[in-house]
Amino acid sequence: MNNYIGQKIYPRSGDTQTVYLKNVITDPNIEVGDFTMYNDFVNNPCDFQQNNVLYHYPINQDKLIIGKFCSIACGAKFIFNSANHRLSSLSTYPFPLFFAEWNLDKANITEAWDNKGDIIIGNDVWIGYEAVVMSGVTISDGAIIGTRAVVTKDVPAYTIVGGVPAKTIRPRFAPEIIAKLQTAQWWDWPIDKIRQNIAAIQSGQINRLI
């Protein structure tokens, strides 16, 4: 049974709105860790990479990397580099996209936008309803992204952010607890060890972790 846990698409019996995201992803430039779940009550959650990962074109080779045990709410969006019209140009119009129209070199199509890099989401991150994460952002372990926040900058571990653009609201725990959690990295433990420690994790008792 332990070998099977986490391998289903729908982890809850009778619930087709919630999926283990790793098991529905086919795009090689999207990496998702075990047990990370996505809930969608508007669209089919299996269509996450089509509906929620936007402007993610193979020509850029940019990646969406999501860790283990993350919770992603309905409508969360990840907006990639092709959405970033080039700011150093005198015009924001993406001329290189229409290379045939303007007799431009097709090889220079990526000059239409600024490339800010991958989106990296740590482990045990909660991303709220209709939040937006922009290209180049890293959200560290244990962070919480508020409903409809727009994340344009990196988010430290175990930090709650919200707003447009997202700003720090508060850390989730005292610094010494955050340090212990980052050392423990419970999401990498064997399944049986996690199971034994669920009560301690849920009750917030860091010193009871095995």
Give me the active site residues, please: 85
CA dist 110 and 60 (Å) reads 7
Q: What does the angle CA 90 – CA 93 – CA 55 come to, to the nearest 5 degrees?
A: 125
CB atoms within 10 A of CB 124: 23
How many other CB atoms sit within 10 Å of the CB of residue 141?
21
Query: Measured between alpha carbons, how far is residue 171 from residues 39, 62, 94, 178, 198 in Å?
Result: 25, 30, 40, 9, 22
Q: What is the 3-state secondary structure (H, E, C) of 74-110?
A: CCCEEECHHHCECCCCCCCCCHHHHHHHHCCCHHHHH
Q: Are 161 and 167 in contact (CB under 8 A)?
A: yes
* First-last CA distance in the chain: 22
DSSP-assigned letter for residue 45: G
d(CA 144, CA 210): 25
Give burial (CB, 10 Å; 0-12/13-18/19+) of 183: exposed
